[in-house]
Structure 1
Amino acid sequence: MSEPKVFLLPDLGEGLTEAELVSWLVAVGDEIRVDQPIAEVETAKSMVEVPSPYAGTVAVLHGEPGQTLDVGKPLISVTPVGAVAAPAKAPEVAETAEDAAAAVYREEEKAGSGNVLIGYGTPGGHGVARRTRPRKSSAAPVVAEPVAQVSAAEKAADDLVLMRTRVPGKLGAVISPLVRRMARDHGVDLGDLQGSGASGLIMRRDVEAVIKPSVAGRAAVAPVETPAAAAVAGTGDTDARTGLGITGRTAVRGVRKAVAANMTRSRSEIPEATVWVDVDATALVELRAALKKADPHHTPGLLAFIARFVTAGLRKFPELNSRLVTTEDTTGGASQEIVVFDGVNLGFAAQTDRGLMVPSVRNADKLSARGLDAEIRRLTAVVRDGKATPAELGSGTFTLNNYGIFGVDGSAAIINHPEVGILGVGRIIDKPWVVNGELAVRKVTELTLTFDHRVCDGGTAGGFLRFVADAIENPGSVLADM
């Protein structure tokens, strides 16, 4: 009898370490092909179809719809083509599965199709599963509980990945980014740890061994219940702190979890400042109306024109199209530098059923207003369908936020970390405005710029904001110069 091959949930890119299993596209007993989609998962970025690197018969489905799975943990077990299925059993999973996932996945690629794109499937191979036995409507998926034990293959893969990153210095080796982040989040000094991996490499289990006792100790000496804890500990359907009934509980995960983490990080790390200005947008509204009358089917939206002005402004004030990067040296010290980009990937906020998403128009500075309009419409449709890729959602260098569609005038927005600026546009409404010394009714909007005060001062921020405002007030002359 042949042992089933275990396919681990692959690295989904962009630092994503977990995904929610939305639905299985196959069932136990199905015959599947290499590269055939086997499951649909939802990450903090988008909806993803995961392809199989193996051909054979589905033996075990490791999870149920609605369950959150970690990268590097078993997703599906497949009995190879022509093999006699062995009784399904729980696979051995490395304690450091997240750290070894990339190397293990590469080995699986060699055994399977060899062309699986991490997190996003491969071209072709979308065959329909053929059943070898009838599916019982009441049957539940076979779910195996993984045993927390290190297999020889996974340990070797883990050691191989980490050995390649060795550098001389205080730590003796560079551990994985996940381990670094875990240590940083819990205040663990990696320099004081003796790694249990090959050649003294520091593994996830080493950091967890330090974290868990400290957490238990704090719980023992601090039994005082906080208001937040009281709310969670409320019995039945009544909140213990307020005495009010609870109408529902929603887990913070997926997009909402990612947004919460990013906004918290932005506010904690970026010393932001905000400047704003009221703008007479009458000329821009009239220009678009004239273009629409001449060509009703190919007229860009107002947001596309403003996006064109923003990219021009960022060329003039490149400090706002940058990123602040912190680097570590071998002695544990840190230094910072401002990295300015050659080109603009313009992000824009789009409200979807899954929450607020910020796709980015790549090389937006090279597009016309019509080109920007087409790409904004395409990306909006993609994110609302949940099909945007991490590259489309995580490559922005500056964000444009049109919150005027919600009927509000202004907002001190939170910067989309790790960018350094975000420009908000309020609703365009009729307001009294002084024109040539006389009062008139004009189309007025408010522009609000929030910027990272570490990369530029108020003069630069004000200059950029004034440039965009002047372009809106005199669009004809500005567009002629572009």
Structure 2
Amino acid sequence: MSSDMQVFKLPDLGEGLTEAELVNWLVAVGDEIVVDQPIAEVETAKSMVEVPSPYAGTVAELHGEAGQTLDVGKPLISIARAGSAASSPAAAPVPAPAGSVDPSPVSSGLDVSSAVEAAAETYRTEEKAGSGNVLIGYGTPGGATGGRTRPRKASASVVASAVAEPAAVPEMEPAVAGTRIPGKLSAVISPLVRKMARDHGVSLDAIEGSGASGLIMRRDVEAVIASPSVAAVPSAAAIPAAPVSAPVSAGAVDSRTGLSVSARTPVRGVRKAVAANMTRSRSEIPEATVWVDVDATALLEMRAELKKRAPHDTPGLLAFIARFVTAGLKKYPALNTRFETAGDGSQEIVGFEGINLGFAAQTDRGLVVPSVRNAHQLSARELDAEIRRLTAVARDGKATPTELGSGTFTLNNYGVFGVDGSAAIINYPEVAMLGVGRIINKPWVVNGELAVRKVTELTLAFDHRVCDGETAAGFLRYVADAIENPGGALADM
């Protein structure tokens, strides 16, 4: 393939996926594009993602059509380098003196020598660090040893000094030309760093980069994420929902039943992810289930009183139950863990210094589980606000992979569907899920007398490898007691 043609392959979008559905092209053949310009919208297993380009130049070919499922690692788009013969056939290349750099500007910056390309390749270690799943680049399937098929074109911000001594500093970081201006995204070269900041609500304006000339590096964003307070970034523009494809009629006769096949619907997107996750959960987790009926009358009465005082600022019932759950997980931390098996067969239970509370949300794309990060630090009112926010972004298809894949325990309110209980499947790789059924009038004995009370059923599915029934029952009873006596429970939280 010509050196003037740059082929960008569909990257692993940070979820460990093997494919994604192409929803919409944001560019067309012949368009001039710049580095980091969104080129396509794709639907991953649980969210819509805009894919930015790591190259600048002229769009030469689009490898796929809207609605097509593309494999990770396969060509997504071909881009001719700006000023190349591929993009401008009439332009004749001007040979440069040996050892020099062509100073002519192009749309993406400078046409630099292979030495500067090597410097940019060294910088790519910034994106390869971590789990090996990167947003822009070619992924790191083998960990640190994974590589790309060809070097990436260097950014215009790489200083020319890198040409003179290409191998002098093996861990060099490219500098930003001139003095870094706070608040300018040009001081962030890595798309992965930008994505990490967006996912964790970090404002790049407030970060002073530790790289050369103030370049913001991965470690700078990680340091802010680890700090107690994080500046929020503006919300992203709304991403349109993917069109739902009509089932394809087969028109054939099924050999087993003798009936005509009315439709064949591909399993993909959210449904495919859910199917894989549920299958893995059922095959790997030896779950057990305990349940209990709970008198929720006192909780409903308490909320009704609060609603009289603040009609528009009263948390929902799920938020109160979520607050009881986080308190219960502090008391019974075994249910807020993860069971891991290493490659050598050794096993361990991983505990966490905090709780990311997931909750099941039904959307047009299927069931998703966004999670409230650090839920143990939030009040019932704060939990209510975050649950409402995450529900909205999940239903709009705008939830990030971090919001959908970072839970440590799941709360499932299937009572909204009018059912009492469920033999729930644990949300792998978590180890437990608490289900809440509908609240209905039932006869109940109160102080030795029969009364009509508001009763719900709590069901806990748990991984029997991490704890025994005593622990599971203790947690379930703790949450049940808190619902039956919310005033006393809140006094101790």
TM-score (norm 2): 0.69
Counterpart Cα distance in 2 of 1:421 and 1:74? 40
Counterpart Cα distance in 2 of 1:119 and 1:261? 30
Which residue of 374, 395, 399 maps to 1:384? Answer: 395
Shift of 1:72: 1.6
In the alignment, residue 103 of structure 1 is paired with which amino acid? Answer: G
Shift of 1:6: 0.9
Which residue of 297, 301, 312 maps to 2:327? Answer: 312
Shift of 1:111: 5.3
Counterpart Cα distance in 1 of 2:386 and 2:76? 35
Counterpart Cα distance in 2 of 1:310 and 1:97? 38
Counterpart Cα distance in 1 of 2:374 and 2:399? 17
Which residue of 254, 258, 264 maps to 1:239? Answer: 254
Corresponding position of 2:220: none
Corresponding position of 1:5: 6
Corresponding position of 1:276: 291
Note the 1:167-206 alignment, pairs <5 A.
Answer: none
Q: SS of 1:117's equivalent?
A: helix
Corresponding position of 1:396: 407
Shift of 1:86: 6.1
Which residue of 257, 265, 279 maps to 1:264? Answer: 279
Q: Please tell me whether the aligned partners of residues 140 and 147 of structure 2 are also in contact (alpha carbons under 8 angstroms).
A: no
Q: Please tell me whether the aligned partners of residues 34 and 55 of structure 2 are also in contact (alpha carbons under 8 angstroms).
A: yes
Note the 1:33-48 alignment, pairs <5 A.
Answer: 33-48=34-49
List per-residue Cα deviations over 1:16-68 (Å, max 9, x = no partner).
Answer: 12111111011101111221110000011211000111222110001111111
In the alignment, is residue 475 of structure 1 matched against residue 490 of structure 2? Answer: no
Corresponding position of 1:114: 189
In the alignment, residue 321 of structure 1 is paired with which amino acid? Answer: N
Counterpart Cα distance in 2 of 1:119 and 1:24? 22
Corresponding position of 1:104: 148
List per-residue Cα deviations over 1:168-196 (Å, max 9, x = no partner).
Answer: xxxxxxxxxxxxxxxxxxxxxxxxxxxxx
Q: Please tell me whether the aligned partners of residues 440 and 454 of structure 2 are also in contact (alpha carbons under 8 angstroms).
A: yes
Counterpart Cα distance in 1 of 2:434 and 2:292? 11
In the alignment, residue 84 of structure 2 is paired with which amino acid? Answer: A
In the alignment, is residue 30 of structure 1 matched against residue 31 of structure 2? Answer: yes
In the alignment, residue 353 of structure 2 is paired with which amino acid? Answer: D
Q: Please tell me whether the aligned partners of residues 12 and 119 of structure 1 are also in contact (alpha carbons under 8 angstroms).
A: no
Note the 1:327-346 alignment, pairs <5 A.
Answer: 327-328=342-343, 333-346=344-357
In the alignment, is residue 296 of structure 1 matched against residue 296 of structure 2? Answer: no
List per-residue Cα deviations over 1:75-98 (Å, max 9, x = no partner).
Answer: 11111222232699xxxxxxx998
Structure 2 CA distance for partners of 1:304 and 1:106, relative to 1, 3 Å:
farther
Q: Please tell me whether the aligned partners of residues 250 and 264 of structure 2 are also in contact (alpha carbons under 8 angstroms).
A: no
Counterpart Cα distance in 1 of 2:150 and 2:295? 57
Counterpart Cα distance in 2 of 1:265 and 1:429? 34
Note the 1:434-445 alignment, pairs <5 A.
Answer: 434-445=445-456
Shift of 1:270: 0.7
Structure 2 CA distance for partners of 1:442 and 1:452, relative to 1, 3 Å:
same
Q: Please tell me whether the aligned partners of residues 250 and 263 of structure 2 are also in contact (alpha carbons under 8 angstroms).
A: no
Q: Please tell me whether the aligned partners of residues 2 and 83 of structure 1 are also in contact (alpha carbons under 8 angstroms).
A: no
Q: SS of 2:350's equivalent?
A: strand
List per-residue Cα deviations over 1:314-372 (Å, max 9, x = no partner).
Answer: 000000001111123xxxx3111111111100010000000000011111001000111
Note the 1:25-104 alignment, pairs <5 A.
Answer: 25-85=26-86, 99=141, 103-104=147-148
Higher helix share: 1
Q: SS of 1:104's equivalent?
A: coil
List per-residue Cα deviations over 1:90-141 (Å, max 9, x = no partner).
Answer: xxxxxx9984896329953745883212895998xxxxxxxxxxxxxxxxxx
In the alignment, residue 282 of structure 2 is paired with which amino acid? Answer: R
Runs of at least 5 residues in structure 1 that lack an aligned partner in the other structure = 89-95, 124-233
Q: SS of 2:24's equivalent?
A: strand
Counterpart Cα distance in 2 of 1:235 and 1:390? 35
Q: SS of 2:86's equivalent?
A: coil
Overall identity of the aligned pairs, in %: 75
In the alignment, residue 78 of structure 1 is paired with which amino acid? Answer: I
Aligned length: 361
Counterpart Cα distance in 2 of 1:348 and 1:108? 41
In the alignment, is residue 355 of structure 1 matched against residue 366 of structure 2? Answer: yes
Shift of 1:235: 7.6
Structure 2 CA distance for partners of 1:6 and 1:118, relative to 1, 3 Å:
farther
Q: SS of 2:389's equivalent?
A: helix
Q: Please tell me whether the aligned partners of residues 38 and 52 of structure 1 are also in contact (alpha carbons under 8 angstroms).
A: yes
In the alignment, residue 292 of structure 2 is paired with which amino acid? Answer: V
Runs of at least 5 residues in structure 2 that lack an aligned partner in the other structure = 90-137, 157-187, 199-248
In the alignment, residue 301 of structure 2 is paired with which amino acid? Answer: E
Shift of 1:303: 0.3
